[in-house]
A and B are shown apart, each in its own frame.
Chain A
Amino acid sequence: MTTSRTRRALIAGGLVALLVAAPRPAHAYLLTSLQNSSGQLSPGTWAQPPTYYITNQGTTGISVPALVAAVRGGFSAWTSVPTAHVSVIYGGLTTAEPDVVDYQNTIGFADLGNIPGFENTLGFTDYLLLADGTPAHFFETDIVLNSAFPWSTDPNGVAGRFDLQSIATHEIGHFLGLNHSAIGVVTTAADGSLDVQAKRAVMFPIAFTPGNVSDRTLTPDDIAGISVLYPAAGFQQSTGTISGQVTKNGAGVFGAQVLALDTQTGALVASFSLDTHGDYTIAGLAPGTYIVRAEPLDTLDVTSFFNATDPVDTNFQVAYHLGPVAVPRGANAGGINISVVAK
């Protein structure tokens, strides 16, 4: 049994942040996981519906009722997914601060503007995860929203202000156990920072520009991810998976993004190869035919997805699986291998 109880372990092992115009592009849902005592990756979920509290402190332009409405709206996006069974409890307002280990799930503002490394962070989620089996279980998760940025709760967005509900929706995805997705495209600015050109996942690690409210609405990738974590009755029987290997010169590629496009609906769902064999699995797919494409995490900050010590290979060209990919209902389309070549 592994338990992270110290403050240091909490931050080092369990923090995911949403950034503004800093590093990354790309695809997929990834699950927040911890290695259990037998060395297997255990995705983290809530064993019981979590109770969350919201701090009774707003920020410039955001009253406490507006904060509560935005956060509850963010939770509603996830709890209303029909293929997932997500249940949470709103415990009310609290005077507690977020990002403090107190065994209470607290959501609220804090000024991160003067904290080195957080200058570009709109919000982050930290968590305590108990890896006592599969799945691992959260027992505290806090969400911190950076009051150093200008915010808005206007459903139409306000120029120059970030949409609070969009950012809350992203952080709540982390609260529930999703890690970052990489379905998107970024460009690198002259100063080295990254700008989002387009994306297709609320769980993408970089936010849209101020005034954009698109991330209030979940995408197929987000929906597949949450449905795999908290499947509604019949979900696993009604969907299928794609699995295979990404290889380069015969060796497995770690950390390749593998994207599946449903040729009937256009839904995009993606995942990553998660070991040195290049093995990947994309779950929660509607039955049908798919285009499968592998892409390197070459323009993103790899540490938004993996540990810095993971042997992520970003030196390969985009490649497709040049053959049939038919996902059956309730079963796996295996052997969907993709051979990539170095740049």
Chain B
Amino acid sequence: MRTASCVLAVAAVLLLAGRPAAAAPARGRVRRNAATPIRPHTVEISAFAGRFGGNPLTAQSALLTPNVVGSPGVTTPLFNVAETQQAAASFGGRIAYNITSMFAVEGAFTYSRPNLDVAVSNDAQAPSVPPFTIAQVHQIFVDVSLIAHLSALSFAHGRGIPFLAGGGGYLGQIYLGTNENLTGQVYNIGGGVKYFFGAPGARERFGVRGDLREYFRSRGGDNVAMRRSNLSLTGSLLFVF
């Protein structure tokens, strides 16, 4: 549900971004372009902190083979386990190259340390087992995204500019204690807003940035091909030069 609403929101922003650019009078378009803080062939670096959302993982069961004849493959649970990756603080850095005033390519490194909690159920011999943490995970993403700056939606005299982002990369998870590096892939889609300080025409400027991304993970510690999603919200300090 959360994934769907995020994708819808991104689609809506895309429509808004495209419509004024095509229909706006030439004078207005020139004014807004002149005000955009994104200059081609510049580099943007940023450091961020935020919250990486949680999500349910694969449910697991302690399966027994029932004493029945003629039903191969049928199982019955001794107990069931529902595993959840909890939300956690995330930290990281990004470096982007502004190819044009609209498009940039951005590499990012993200670290978080979520807990995996489990809830045991359906155990006839232990009817009330409290939820508990089964593992702590070092999680890193190294990914590359394409950034589309929506100059037509810039605000605050061009200091603020929304953007859309999407990309993919490497997922690494080390479960504390196992020393196993469980790798996979991670994809993201979302967007955010940048706000620049300093003189509008300056090549070097500081700024702040907020990102809202939906992450889709494949493999890693889940060991499943099924994609899992986590909503991530981060705030950044940036410097463009």
Contact = CB atoms under 8 A, between A and B. Distances in A.
Interface residues of A, number: 44
Given A185-B78, A291-B81, A318 B125 contact: yes
Given A214-B72, A261-B60, A322-B130, A329 B178 contact: yes
Interface in A170-187: 183-185
Given A261-B81, A318-B123, A157 B60 contact: no
A199 interface: yes
Nearest to A213: B72
A161 to B, nearest CB: 11
Nearest to B66: A198
The interface centre, meaning the residue of B64, B125, B180, B223 with most chain A CB atoms within 10 A of its CB, is: B64
Contact of A326 (B65, B81, B123, B135): B135
Interface stretch (A31-39, A70-78, A83-91, A204-212): A204-212
A327 B175 CA distance: 10
A185 B64 contact: yes
Contacts of B10: none
B177 A326 contact: yes
A290 B83 CA distance: 11
B150 to A, nearest CB: 42
Contacts of A107: none
Given A197-B67, A198-B66, A317 B125 contact: yes
The interface centre, meaning the residue of B66, B67, B179, B180 with most chain A CB atoms within 10 A of its CB, is: B67
B84 to A, nearest CB: 12
A9 to B, nearest CB: 36
Contact-residue size bin, chain B (C-beta under 8 Å from the other chain): 35 or more
Given A263-B118, A318-B126, A323-B133, A328 B64 contact: no
B interface, over-half SS: strand
B178 A327 contact: yes
B178 A328 contact: yes
Contacts of A184: 64
Interface string A128-154: 000000000000000000000000000
Interface string B64-98: 11111110100010110101000000000000000
B179 to A, nearest CB: 5
A287 interface: yes
Contacts of A199: 64-65, 67
Interface of A: 157, 159, 183-185, 195-200, 208-212, 214, 259, 261, 263-266, 268, 287-291, 293, 295, 317-320, 322-329, 333
17 contacts: A197-B76, A198-B66, A198-B78, A200-B65, A200-B78, A261-B81, A263-B118, A266-B61, A289-B175, A289-B221, A318-B126, A320-B132, A323-B133, A324-B177, A326-B175, A328-B179, A329-B180
